């Protein structure tokens, strides 16, 4: 069967027929002339950050800017690590993020499975209630949540970041939708064989849900790792800071030491970049399915 496309984006002058030849890329498409500058433009802030991180302080204070430092100042990196408790911040953020992601995977799976497959009193009402909380933006609940967390004695504690986020409504919804798409026969067969709901969830449903779980994990990871406002509001001791908060204070105390700042910034971005490159499929799928569900 043919695999041709009629390209609606063919440039005038082409005959209007462009083929997606099976397996072969076009030798040199004029689109590269648009896409390459665009891609480079998007990468400029990142690339410039890396270049600056390898310059000396004096080089950063030059105009026109030094585009290539000549001698790469890798020293900036250990200097930045020494100038602020980065390792501590990394650790804090990692602990919070991993705990939150793990907790969400567990709790959201449980709840989503119940909503997707079980019938119980009040199910619709509770589901609707949860939906309602999604509508409300963070700043509305900022102060009250702060007061609650304060009551629990978690201010200045990593627990302040973990406990309120142990179960995310978004995760529950996403998994509920996904579980509903699984063929129910598998679970029914197991039920007739006498398996408990819990067993069915862990031995049948979850293994089949690996893509959805991966997507949830990756998105939750990004949210938690990059979160700024909530840590800002609940953490006040430098050693307790998360990475984003720490970065902000680092910038505040090294305002114009751009080379040092960039080195710190690069280090802070590496975990997310690595995660993205390794798990891009799940990121992209997570975002794309948002759009397709309409």
Q: Interface with other proteins includes 57 (CB under 8 A)? A: no
Cα–Cα–Cα angle for 188, 191, 195, rounded to 5 degrees: 145
* Binding-site size, other proteins (CB under 8 A): 117
Which span sits near other proteins by CB under 8 A: 74-82, 144-152, 179-187, 208-216?
Answer: 144-152
Chain residues 22-51 in contact with other proteins, contact rule CB under 8 A:
22-26, 29, 31-32, 34-36, 38-40, 42-46, 48-49
Chain residues 225-284 in contact with other proteins, contact rule CB under 8 A:
225-226, 228-229, 232-233, 244, 247-248, 251, 258, 261-262, 265, 268-269, 272-273, 275-276, 280, 283-284
What are 237's two structure tokens? Answer: 């001791």
3-state DSSP call for residue 5?
A: strand
For 18, phi then psi, to 5°, come to -125, 135
Chain residues 174-213 in contact with other proteins, contact rule CB under 8 A:
191, 197-198
Q: Is 31 exposed, middle or buried (CB count within 10 Å of its CB: 0-12, 13-18, 19+)? A: exposed
Site map (CB under 8 A) of other proteins, residues 162-181, x = contact? -xx-xx-x--x---------
Please, what is the minimum distance in Å from the beta carbon of residue 199 to other proteins?
11
Q: Which residues of 195-216 are buried (b: 16+ CB within 10 A; e: fewer)?
A: eebeebbeebbbebbeebbbbb
Report the 10 Å Cβ neighbour count for 122: 8
Q: Pick the binder of other proteins from 57, 72, 102, 129 (CB under 8 A).
A: 129
Q: Pick the binder of other proteins from 58, 63, 185, 207 (CB under 8 A).
A: 63
């Amino acid at each position: 069967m043919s695999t041709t496309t009629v390209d609606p984006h063919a440039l005038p002058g082409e005959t209007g027929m462009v083929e997606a030849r099976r397996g072969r890329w076009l030798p040199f498409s004029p689109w590269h002339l648009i896409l390459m500058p665009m891609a480079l433009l998007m990468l400029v802030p990142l690339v410039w950050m890396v270049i600056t991180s390898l310059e000396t302080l004096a080089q950063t204070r030059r105009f026109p800017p030094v585009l290539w430092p000549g001698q790469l100042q890798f020293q900036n990196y250990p200097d930045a690590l020494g100038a602020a408790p980065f390792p501590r911040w990394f650790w804090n953020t990692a602990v919070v993020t991993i705990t939150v992601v793990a907790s969400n995977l567990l709790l959201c799976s449980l709840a989503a499975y119940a909503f997707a497959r079980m019938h119980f009193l009040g199910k619709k009402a509770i589901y609707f209630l949860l939906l309602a909380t999604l509508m409300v933006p963070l700043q509305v609940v900022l102060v009250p949540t702060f007061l609650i967390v304060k009551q629990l004695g978690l201010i200045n504690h990593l627990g302040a970041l973990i406990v309120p986020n142990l179960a995310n409504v978004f995760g529950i919804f996403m998994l509920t939708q996904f579980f509903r798409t699984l063929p129910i026969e598998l679970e029914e067969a197991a039920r007739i064989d006498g398996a408990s709901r819990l067993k069915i969830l862990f031995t049948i449903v979850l293994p089949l849900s690996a893509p959805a779980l991966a997507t949830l994990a990756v998105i939750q990871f990004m949210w938690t790792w990059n979160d700024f406002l909530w840590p800002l509001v609940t953490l006040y001791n430098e050693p307790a800071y998360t990475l984003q908060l720490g970065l902000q204070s680092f910038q505040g105390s090294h305002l114009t030491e751009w080379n040092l700042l960039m080195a710190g910034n690069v280090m802070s971005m590496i975990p997310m970049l690595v995660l993205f490159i390794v798990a891009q499929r799940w990121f992209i799928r997570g975002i794309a399915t948002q759009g397709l569900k309409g």
